[in-house]
């Protein structure tokens, strides 16, 4: 039961700690629900339902930034003639796009920008910058690798035996999907973070867009499309490549850190627009743990109580059955001057010692099993579990066991208390 409760606590703590991120909102398409959006964007656990247009992403930027995007990528000049309708809520904040849909082996490929590693923080207090065990962050464009650079989470690099300088080919849609012909070169490996980012492969958003099937089909371009203004580059083979135009771009989700205390107001404004939905990761995970995982804890506690009661009955039967063999010993103790209450306390202490020794041995065995299972726990939760990894729930077991041990010892103690000295000495 210590093992079950400890793993339950580890998984619960993993969800809670991993929802502590340096952005306060996740914005995605209106279809689906906020929990699905959170699991998809924060934990990389769910499949995206649909995408947002890049123009929706641009709504978080000032007029100057929007005009720069039009000049950089090509798009309708009208997009750069006004500020984004959410831009005033992001003063001092940030908005980082995510593009999902591919895999490398069983791990998710996440298309994003350099801001993901340059500006986001992680850790229990959300104060730790991302560090690289090897290499560096990918660049927007690199003369050697073009737009096809990638950064791997620590688990991905270890399990797939990939490092700086290696290449991989993403597969489309699922781990068994069609492989893309474009290879990304690994330029960095993250140090372990204990978050879902350890289980993802991050690629340059521009390279993600350039893979086959990732461009949004656009039948007719606007008349004022300024494609010629978008700068081009060359891939490692010397071929000219050009970033996608704005109408061809889509994002799966947007990580948003609002400026000041505008988070709740911005979330309401986005949800009222019907064009997108916003979710607060911390709130969604709290609701999930309360509504879904909470009843599981109740069930585990009930099973724990039943198990402990059965164990206490074992102690009671064991000691009670041994009383017939110890009646003469008890009678001798009484004849030598031991009082009835002293004999009673000895029997109760025996029951307690059995419970305490059993609890210690059980705790050691449970945490030994956790240590052996730590690679699997880290694989599925991102939490590093060791022999001394505790959960608050497992400490519920020992007080319950000791209480039941005392109750289990009462009947044998009562038998010892009523032992007839003269009759058992003469037996």
Cα–Cα distance list, 130 to 136, 182, 259, 266 (Å): 11, 27, 22, 27
Amino acid 222: pLDDT: 44
> Is 58 or 75 the better-scoring residue by pLDDT?
58
Residues 6+ apart with CB under 8 A from 6: 366, 367, 370, 389, 390, 391, 393, 394
Angle at 120 between CA 119 and CA 122, to 5 degrees: 145
Structure tokens at 394: 């497992």
Amino acid 218: pLDDT: 63
Amino acid 225: pLDDT: 43
Residue 99: is its pLDDT beyond 90? yes
Residue 415: is its pLDDT beyond 90? no
Residue 427: is its pLDDT beyond 70? no
Average pLDDT, the chain: 84
Gap between the Cα atoms of 277 and 34, Å rounded: 8
Bridge-based pairing state of the strands 107-112 and 200-204: parallel
Confidence tier at 138 by pLDDT (50, 70, 90) = very high
The full set of domain ranges for the chain reads: 17-280, 287-425
Q: What is the mean pLDDT of residues 296-317?
A: 82
Structure tokens at 156: 């991905």
Highest mean pLDDT among 130-134, 238-242, 274-278, 292-296: 130-134
Q: 86, 269 in Cβ contact below 8 A?
A: yes
Amino acid 228: pLDDT: 42
Gap between the Cα atoms of 321 and 332, Å rounded: 19
3-state secondary structure 356-415: HHHHHHHHHHHHHHHHHHHHHHHHHHCCCCCCCCCCHHHHHHHHHHHHHHHHHHHHHHHH
Amino acid 219: pLDDT: 55
Highest mean pLDDT among 5-9, 12-16, 378-382: 5-9
Structure tokens at 319: 């000691």
Structure tokens at 283: 């709130």
Instruction: Spell out a b/e string for 69-97, using b for 16 or more CB atoms within 10 Å of the CB, else e.
Output: bbeebbbbeebbeebbebbebbeebbbbb
Q: 213's torsion region: left (phi>0), alpha (psi -120 to 50) or beta? A: left
Best CA proximity match to 196, nearest among 39, 51, 48: 39
Amino acid 1: pLDDT: 79
Amino acid 389: pLDDT: 76
- 3-state secondary structure (DSSP) of residue 318: helix
Q: What is the mean pLDDT of residues 109-118?
A: 96
Amino acid 238: pLDDT: 61
Residues 6+ apart with CB under 8 A from 173: 101, 102, 103
Amino acid 387: pLDDT: 83
Per this entry, what is the length of the chain? Answer: 427
- 3-state secondary structure (DSSP) of residue 420: coil
Gap between the Cα atoms of 151 and 157, Å rounded: 9
Gap between the Cα atoms of 314 and 326, Å rounded: 18
Gap between the Cα atoms of 298 and 415, Å rounded: 37
Share of the chain above pLDDT 70, in %: 89
Structure tokens at 89: 């809520």
Structure tokens at 303: 């099973």
> Is 61 or 342 the better-scoring residue by pLDDT?
61
The per-residue pLDDT for range 346-394, each reduced to its tens digit, is 888 888 888 888 888 988 998 898 888 887 776 665 566 778 777 777 7
The per-residue pLDDT for range 215-263, each reduced to its tens digit, is 887 654 443 444 444 555 555 666 667 788 999 999 999 999 997 778 8
| Beta partners for residue 25, in sequence order | 256
The per-residue pLDDT for range 159-190, each reduced to its tens digit, is 999 999 999 999 987 777 678 888 999 999 99
């Amino acid at each position: 039961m210590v093992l079950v409760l400890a793993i339950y606590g580890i998984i619960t703590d993993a969800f809670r700690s991993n929802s502590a991120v340096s952005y306060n909102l996740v914005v995605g398409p209106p279809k689906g629900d906020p929990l699905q959006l959170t699991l998809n964007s924060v934990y990389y656990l769910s499949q995206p339902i649909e995408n947002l247009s890049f123009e929706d992403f641009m709504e978080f930027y000032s007029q100057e930034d929007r005009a720069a995007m039009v000049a950089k990528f090509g798009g309708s000049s009208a997009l750069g003639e006004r500020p984004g309708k959410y831009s005033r809520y992001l003063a001092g904040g940030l908005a980082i796009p995510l593009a999902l849909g591919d895999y490398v082996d069983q791990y998710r490929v996440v298309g994003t920008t350099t801001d993901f590693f340059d500006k986001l923080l992680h850790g229990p207090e959300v104060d730790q910058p991302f560090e690289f065990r090897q290499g560096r962050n990918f660049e927007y464009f690199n003369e050697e690798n073009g737009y096809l650079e990638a950064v791997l989470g620590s688990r991905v690099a270890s399990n797939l035996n990939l490092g700086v300088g290696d290449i991989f080919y993403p597969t489309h849609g699922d781990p068994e999907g069609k492989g893309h012909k474009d290879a990304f070169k690994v330029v960095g490996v993250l140090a372990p973070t204990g978050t879902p980012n350890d289980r993802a492969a991050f690629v340059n958003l521009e390279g993600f867009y350039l893979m086959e099937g990732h461009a949004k089909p656009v039948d007719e371009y606007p008349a004022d499309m300024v494609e010629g203004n978008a700068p081009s580059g060359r891939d490692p083979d010397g071929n000219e490549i050009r970033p996608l135009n704005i109408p061809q771009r889509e994002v799966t989700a947007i990580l948003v850190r609002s400026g000041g205390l505008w988070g709740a107001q911005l979330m309401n404004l986005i949800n009222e627009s019907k064009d997108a939905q916003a979710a607060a990761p911390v709130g969604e995970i709290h609701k999930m743990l309360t509504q879904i995982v909470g009843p599981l804890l109740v069930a585990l506690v009930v099973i724990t109580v039943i198990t402990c009661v059965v164990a206490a009955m074992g102690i009671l039967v064991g000691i009670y059955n041994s009383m017939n063999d110890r009646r003469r010993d008890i009678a001798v103790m009484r004849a030598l001057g031991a009082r009835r209450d002293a004999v009673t306390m000895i029997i109760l202490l025996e029951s307690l010692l059995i419970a305490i020794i059993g609890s210690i041995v059980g705790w050691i065995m449970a945490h030994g099993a956790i240590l052996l299972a730590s690679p699997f726990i880290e694989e599925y939760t991102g939490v590093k579990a060791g022999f001394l990894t505790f959960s608050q729930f497992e400490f519920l077991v020992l007080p319950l066991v000791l209480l039941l041990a005392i109750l289990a010892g009462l009947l044998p103690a009562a038998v010892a208390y009523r032992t007839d000295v003269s009759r058992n000495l003469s037996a």
